[in-house]
Homo-oligomer: A and B are copies of this chain.
Amino acid sequence: MRTDNKQPDETDEQEPIEILQPMNDKQNGCIGCEGLPPTSYVQQDMEPDKKFTLTLTEGDVYLGKGVLYSGFTIDDKIPGPTLIVRQNEIVEIEVVNTGKIPHGMSIHAAYTQTSKYVGQIGAGETKSVKFKATYPGVYMYHCAPGGHAIPMHTLFGQYGMLVVLPDDGYELEKRGEKPDVELYLIQHEMYKTGKDAITGDPLYVLFNGQLFRYVEDPIKVRPGDKVRIYFLNVGPNIISTLHIVGVVWDHVYWQGHPDNVFVGGQTVLAGPSDSWVIDFRIPEDEGNYLLVTHAFGSATRGAIGVFSASYDHEEVDNVILADGPTYTEEELTEFRELAERIISPYEPTDIDEPYIITPEQQKATVEIIGNSFYPKVLKVPVGTEVEWINEDIFTYAEGEFAGIHDVAVTSGPEMFASPLLGHGEKFSYTFTEVGEYEYICVPHPYMKGKVIVYDPAENSSSQQSGFNIWYALPLAVVGMIVLPIIIRKFRN
């Protein structure tokens, strides 16, 4: 991320100004908003108060605990950078796509058209949009190239937080105070298959990009500190009820707008893309105050942290951003080498063991769902007919923007490719050659699958199980019938 507080004469990197559609005579005013703040609409040639550049691509991040994640990133992080602006500032978001596929941007703080400016950005392209941050709050931004790719890229990791600080602050500021510690906190889910991403069954649930990040590195506070959490549940599927053991909220603000204030409470409930501003004090007594989602399945999956309260903490971090951790390329290389497990929603990794079809099971099906194959690795006896069925549904566009898929072998004893499959459409192929078949979906070439075709005869002979009975019994039978004949013969 690059943050520029530019003066008008520093705009040499400015994108060519977009020609807007003709507007009516209130074009820079506020249409139909008597009594309401204006929308975020500004002419795209205005000078921004703040400019951010976000770089979208595909890549790996390290989640901690020996786990590497291969997905989609913003500024090489998951979550992407935390963007902070003040109410009524004019904000420019420049979006750079350094990836191999289209990306784009949805900016929830922008109450104006963004899709046509930054919604769809081809590989290698840079686009930009400007808006006025008229409504304070805690907002999500995320990749949104259009259609089916909007949920999929978000599910794969491209999101972050943008906070619009209110001009007059919250109750705390109205009392003439300010927070001692500000934690920008994102809860988000990581999936090991595209199917899990669709059904909402995450493998990990993280705070700010790392498993148990604030258990490993507790947030230092002092009794009496006033703490504010800018909380965004990215999801993208599961609710969070954020809670701190030993704390009752003083004030919480739904979506971070200062007018939506509640008093007290043990939790805040947040669905995907819901947000809260949470104000509380560290109580007078030292000790650990545990931060947790009270949806406890998610807590065991990684969403626990610690506020460590001590009078001895002379220095504390006053601002903790929601950005995921960043690593040097050397560190990432090391993580890749040493990773105990690599996960990815759309390609086989070491944790995707083959799903084995036995000869008796007679059939094999691969679901195509959530821009991935399920199972990602299938092992079938030679001669098996494998059926692929497309369970993705959004089919109004093409390429990356649609849930239209195919199956195209990239290496293997036999090469084949299916036609493009719409929702519910099937393709079958009977594997007659033993070997490993690697395949992709051509419109989404990061989607990878494998079929391992085995010879069950060879397979069974390598097993220790009691198959010998099949050989032994006929032999015994033959022996019982033939041997007397032979014996009799030789007696003759």
Contacts and interface: CB of A to CB of B under 8 A. Distances in A.
Given A257-B262, A272-B295, A35 B175 contact: yes
A444 interface: no
B109 A248 contact: yes
A296 B235 contact: yes
B460 A239 contact: no
B300 A148 contact: yes
A382 B467 CA distance: 10
A269 B270 contact: yes
B340 A424 contact: yes
A215 B396 contact: yes
A34 interface: yes
A336 interface: no
Given A212-B394, A486-B485, A139 B297 contact: no
A285 B112 contact: yes
Interface centre among A199, A237, A248, A290 (most CB of B within 10 A): A248
Interface centre among A144, A263, A396 (most CB of B within 10 A): A263
B471 A473 contact: yes
Interface size class of A (residues with CB under 8 A): 35 or more
Interface in A149-195: 150-152, 154-155, 171, 175, 177
A294 interface: yes
A110 interface: yes
Contacts of A237: 295-297
B295 A425 contact: no
B137 A31 contact: no
A197 B274 contact: no
Interface stretch (A54-62, A75-83, A113-121): A113-121
Nearest to A343: B424
12 contacts: A27-B284, A33-B250, A67-B424, A241-B271, A267-B272, A300-B392, A300-B403, A340-B423, A359-B360, A457-B466, A460-B466, A470-B473
A362 interface: yes
A148 B474 CA distance: 56
Contacts of A152: 300
A219 interface: no
A85 B415 CA distance: 63
Contacts of A34: 175, 177
Nearest to A270: B269
A382 B300 contact: no
Interface stretch (A18-26, A325-333, A405-413): A18-26
A233 to B, nearest CB: 9
Interface stretch (A36-44, A89-97, A314-322, A435-443): A36-44
Contacts of A33: 250, 281
A301 B474 contact: no
A302 interface: yes
Interface in A203-222: 204, 211-212, 215-216
